[in-house]
Structure 1
Amino acid sequence: MTSTINTKTSILNRTLDKIERLGNKLPHPFMIFLGLMIITVGLSSLLQALDVSVALEKIDHGVISHTIITANSLLDKDGLLFMLSSVLSNFTGFFPLGTVFFMMLGVGIAEGSGLLRTLLSYLVNITPKAMITSMIVFLGIFSNIASAVGYIVLVPLAGLIFLQFGRHPIAGLAAAFAGVSGGWSANILIGATDATFAGISTAAARLIDHQYSVLATSNWYFMIVSTFLITLIGTWVTDKIIEPRLGPYHESDDTRAELAKQEVVALKISSLALLSYLALIVFAYLPESSLLRNPATGGLADSPLMKNLIVLIGLGFAVWGTIFGYVAKQFNSAHDVATAMTQAITQLAGFLVLIFFAAQFIAYFNYSNLGIIFAIKGANALQATGLTGIWLVLGLIILTALLNLLIAVDSAKWAIMAPIFVPMFMLLGLSPELTQVAYRIGDSVTNIIAPTMPLFPLIVAFCQKYNPQLGVGSVVAMMLPYSVAFLVGWTLLLILWFTLGLPLGPDALLHYPH
């Protein structure tokens, strides 16, 4: 039995080693994005010359529009002008840029003051070592309720936490990234993503049934169970595959460092200040006329609070770190605070280079309409297979997982695919809620190996902090076992769910009575 397991492990390791060696032979990540830009330019021109087009039904704020999408060449007059005039706006308007920059200011203060080191030392002293990986993966999944916070805050912290435990920090980064991104749709709570998907699915379903509504809770039961499944799978892959391959990290810190009395006092006082800050936000949200509420519904979904959560969290880190720094005598003046922020921003130099080229590639890809064309062509091919029942659902999962490598924005992709698949599945007796679940599984599992995902360059930058030799290919190879394991495990869960006929959420059935 042992020999068989070792053989299987050896085959897996050899396969991953080959992928990693191939990845390491690739040019610098910025050259990869530059190459993708060139391919996009050439392909857009070719498809326009061939007059390639697709019919598109798209949902925007509940309104369904019908249009013909053609390939836009980047080599004609308009395309060349777009490339020339959008270079700066592509970069400055790239979503992760401002978000990451602002968060790093607050986190930089927390790090420069010694707060993070003290806090992590405290966590190491009270957390069982056997539970640390599971905690990281679970928190990663849970963090998706706050949009991109997990990518920017939890992933780098996970590396530091693993380092404090004497474990390889890149394994910590991988575990957190797997939870945040690979488990993107799972959660034990209902978040803004659930409401967004439900709105798009409802509009698509009403192409067939004008009274049909998909609720934000329509996938809740399934996603609660998925949260624990992804946590278990992510923990196993980290501990049994990823970390053993990485080997020991020779610059690990003292895992059981004693905290100085002044640091303990500073941690208590600064944490009380943080709690006061959070309480202030809660009390500011409570009044029905609060400016933090959604002005139309008065609720939390799509509210100024959720839209500006990154800003509020960044300010929270700044308050927490500044007070800790002064109480712990690490900060003596505003100059020390500024120095901490400056040092944090210097760590972003490599990330800024990567996202400059990544932003250009994504802008070119969107302008050319290649992603939409590939999505519609893939959907038509799936429909032509004649699959039915659970096999049709599995086909949608695989198709979405592949398309996610090209179009990484989940809601934008669903707005394109929902008008195609939701009505088609309803006519075949499958509910919109089931169609939505299948899409969400496929959309999540390949996030962690999709270089087109806007925050992927940031993960590469985090890894390069501990190993400057790691590039895009190496990170993809490292995350591939998570992607495959999540795809297999999550799909098997859906098959079991379908076989047992369980509701996906409150009043959310598997079948549509056509």
Structure 2
Amino acid sequence: MNAAPAGTSRASATDKVLAGIERAGNRLPDPFVLFLLLFAAVAVTSTLMAWANVTVTVPGSAEATAIKGLFTAEGMTWLTTTLGANYLGFPPLATVLPILLAVGVAEKSGLLAALIRRAFGAAPRWALPYAVGLVGVAGSIMADAAFVVIPPLAALVFKAAGRHPVAGLLGGFAAAGAGYSTSMLVTSLDALFAGITTAVTGALPDPGSPVNPLSNYFFNVVSSGVLILAAGFLIDKVLEPRLVKQGVARMESEETDDDGAPLPAAGQGSAAGQPAALDPNLSPLERRGLRWALAIGAVVALAIAVGSLLPDSPWRNEDGGFLPASPLLSSIVFIVFVLFVIPGLVYGRITGTMPSASDIPRVMGLSLKEMSGFLVLAFVLGQFIALFNWSGIGNWIAVAGASGLESIGLTGYPAILAFIVLASLLNLFIISGSAMWTLMAAVFVPMFALLGYEPAFVQAAFRVGDSATQVLTPLNPYMIVLLTMLRRYEPSAGLGTVISRMLPFTVVFWLAWVAVLTVFYVFDLPLGPGNGIFIQ
């Protein structure tokens, strides 16, 4: 009897591990109940810590901050007066809802389906996973909007090409999330990290080379290329075959409008006849609508660009620039909104899929209906995250972890690796990269400077740990958005389903990214213009 090939055995073992993780994860309660339980756990823990007078001294702060408990007079007053604000102030709502309304117009009008058919009609099917990897890894230029825009569009591209749409959906999210801290383009995140790093180097006896938004540019470009290839490979060779093997549906579950009539599937217009397979041949009416939609969209984009580049533009910051923060960067959601809505309306009017103004609120309403589960879940998510931040437990975890690593006394490159591991673990609890870097930089930039490492190198190491694990944690609110989208194809999917399918991306991205950093370290390569590994 012939033995099974080694590769088959390894694949089978991997499938068993991932299936086990999925089963274990799906035994967790429904996300709404899960976050209620987490809210209760934080409430009890914070109260016990408050009664024990636990304090945390954030690096750079002159005074210790006491942990605040929910079941105290202050805590109950906070909860009863901020319940609504906690919900409405839940950060993803400000990003998700406007973009959902806009994408709904472009999707239900048929614009996205026509654009994808035209743009990818001649593209080889094998290249699509790598295209998704490219767009996802580079998507951080859109900030958090990337988590809402890229996954559903990637699903549409895969569906139109006859490939599994869920592979596009999950692959787009993985590439956008696990590769969030790197990009071939200079983004606001580069400027934000550089500003934080610079702020903690002023008191150092030898602060090394100045850190600026380009200090990690060479490292980012190489990392981006490696992660794009890794994302494409994983989507093509791991994720999609596993979805096929599991029999995950290729079509969305049919939904109906308020009158019980079937709604058009994602990526299709309200008019019947949109092809499911990729057909680049548009009808004359579709071509005309697409030309006008793209032309009007280009005019809108040009108007935004000109308005921003004017010397006295109100979208510049106080210094006359755009980085690290400016009204322009704070307008990303608005820019995405108008670039979806206006071309969608033009296309719908010309093709007849949205002939009247009354169609606008109708299709926007349908888009919100599809995400109604997330809107309900956002209520308890908002309460949990607000309590987690208000109590101070997040800061306590970060400072305790940093102190523990510092007390180990590691030196050399193993200390850098331990630092990356710590950042990856803390990333499961503190999703905001800037908040976590603010806490960690104050401890580790001076510590590693005394060991002879440039602050820019410590910042580059932090990027690795900051991104790879955020697609695994339920505390990432955009994972819940993804789960809502996934359930349109796979109604029984749970958090375990998402985590098991994200795990290969996390592991491979983490290892590949560490390998890139190791190459830069071993060969003492410049991380960016004027920034190296060691303080000279």
TM superposition score normalised by structure 2:
0.92
Q: Please, which moves more after superposition, 388-397 or 67-76?
A: 67-76
Q: How many residues align?
A: 507
1:295-316 superposed Cα distances (whole Å, 9 cap, x missing partner): 3333454121111121122012
Match of 1:62 in 2: none
Which one of 213, 220, 224 corresponds to residue 223 of structure 1?
220
Among 367, 384, 387, the residue aligned to 2:407: 384
Matches within 5 A, 1:363-512: 363-512=386-535
Q: For residue 251 of structure 2, what is the aligned residue in structure 1?
A: 251
The answer to whether the 8 Å contact 1:124/1:255 transfers is no
| 2:261 aligned with 1:238 | no
What is the one-letter code of the residue matched to 1:265? Answer: R
Gaps of 5+ in 2: 253-274
- Other structure's SS at 2:295 match: helix
CA distance in structure 2 between the aligned counterparts of 1:102 and 1:254, rounded to whole angstroms: 27
Check conservation: 1:409, 1:453, Cα contact below 8 A.
no
The percentage of aligned residue pairs carrying the same residue is 34
Letter in 2 for 1:34: L
Please state which structure has a larger fraction of its residues in helix.
Answer: 1
Give the secondary structure class of the aligned counterpart of 2:368.
helix
Q: What's 2:379 paired with?
A: 356
Q: Structure 1 counterpart of 2:502, which letter?
A: M
Shift of 1:123: 2.8
Measure, in 1, the Cα distance between the counterparts of 2:468 and 2:323: 27
Distance in 2 of aligned mates of 1:256 and 1:492: 38
CA distance in 1, matches of 2:318, 2:360: 37
* Secondary structure, aligned partner of 1:439: helix
Equivalent residue number for residue 61 of structure 1? none
Question: 2:20 maps to which residue?
Answer: 18
Larger deviation, residues 24-33 vs 45-54 = 45-54
Equivalent position amino acid for 2:519 in 1: L
CA contact (8 A) 1:408 1:453 kept: yes
> Aligned equivalents of 1:231 and 1:298: distance in 2?
30
Letter in 2 for 1:14: K
Distance in 1 separating the partners of 2:51 and 2:167: 47
Give the match for residue 167 of structure 1: 163
Q: Which moved more, 1:180-189 or 1:255-264?
A: 255-264
Q: What is the Cα deviation at residue 83 of structure 1?
A: 1.8
Secondary structure of the corresponding residue to residue 66 of structure 1: coil
Shift, 1:336, TM fit:
1.6
> Within the alignment, does 1:176 sit opposite 2:172 as a pair?
yes
Q: Is residue 189–residue 324 contact of structure 2 (8 Å, CA) maintained in 1?
A: no
Q: Does 1:49 align with 2:51?
A: yes
Counterpart of 2:328 in 1: which secondary structure? helix
What secondary structure does 1:465 align onto?
coil
1:18 match: secondary structure? helix
Match of residue 268 from structure 2: none
The 8 Å contact of residues 140 and 176 in structure 2, kept in 1 or not, is answered as yes
> CA–CA distance in 1 between the matches of 2:62 and 2:152?
43
Give the Å deviation of 1:388.
0.8
Q: Which residue of 2 aligns with 1:109?
A: 105
Partner of 2:262: none
1:77 positional shift: 0.7
Residue 75 of structure 1: aligned partner: 71
| Cα distance in 1 between the residues matched to 2:452 and 2:116 | 52
CA distance in 1, matches of 2:78, 2:491: 34
- DSSP-derived class of the 2:394 partner: helix
One-letter amino acid of the counterpart of residue 482, structure 1 = F
Query: For residue 49 of structure 1, what is the amino acid of its counterpart?
Result: W
Specify every segment of 5 or more residues in structure 1 that has no aligned partner in the other structure, as ranges.
59-64
Measured in 2, the distance between the counterparts of 1:300 and 1:387 equals 36
1:251 CA drift (Å): 3.0
Deviation at 1:211, TM superposition (A): 6.6
Distance 2:217 2:94 in 1: 32
Displacement of 1:98: 2.2
CA distance in 2, matches of 1:49, 1:299: 46
- Once the two structures are overlaid, the 10-residue window that deviates more, 80-89 or 129-138, is 80-89
Match of 2:332 in 1: 309
Query: How many Å apart are 1:2 and its aligned residue?
Result: 7.0
1-side partners of 2:250 and 2:104: how far apart? 25
Distance across 1 between alignment mates of 2:419 and 2:4: 38
Q: Distance in 2 between matches of 1:2 and 1:303?
A: 59
Which deviates more, 48-57 or 214-223?
Answer: 48-57
Corresponding residue for residue 343 of structure 1: 366
Instruction: Tell me, yes or no, if structure 1 residue 273 matches structure 2 residue 269.
Output: no
* Cα distance change of structure 1 residues 337 and 119 upon mapping to structure 2, 3 Å threshold: same
Is residue 2:86 matched to residue 1:90? yes
Name the amino acid aligned to 1:255.
A
Match of 2:183 among 182, 187, 191: 187
Cα separation, 2, equivalents of 1:378 and 1:56: 12
Partner residue in 1 for 2:9: 7
| Equivalent position of 1:157 in the other structure | 153
TM-score where L is the length of structure 1: 0.95
CA distance in 2, matches of 1:360, 1:54: 22
Deviations 1:369-402 (A, max 9, x none): 1111111111111111111111111011000000
Instruction: Give the AA of the match of 1:219.
Output: N
After TM superposition, the runs of 4+ consecutive aligned structure 1 residues lying more than 6 A away are none
Q: Contact conserved, 1:71 with 1:369, CA < 8 A, in 2? A: yes
| Secondary structure of residue in 2 paired with 1:449 | coil
Which letter maps to 1:334?
A
Three-state SS of the structure 2 residue aligned to 1:230 is helix
Mapped partners of 1:10, 1:380: distance in 2: 41
Code of the aligned partner of 2:58:
L
1:37 matched to which residue of 2?
39
Contact persistence 1:56–1:416 (CA under 8 A):
yes
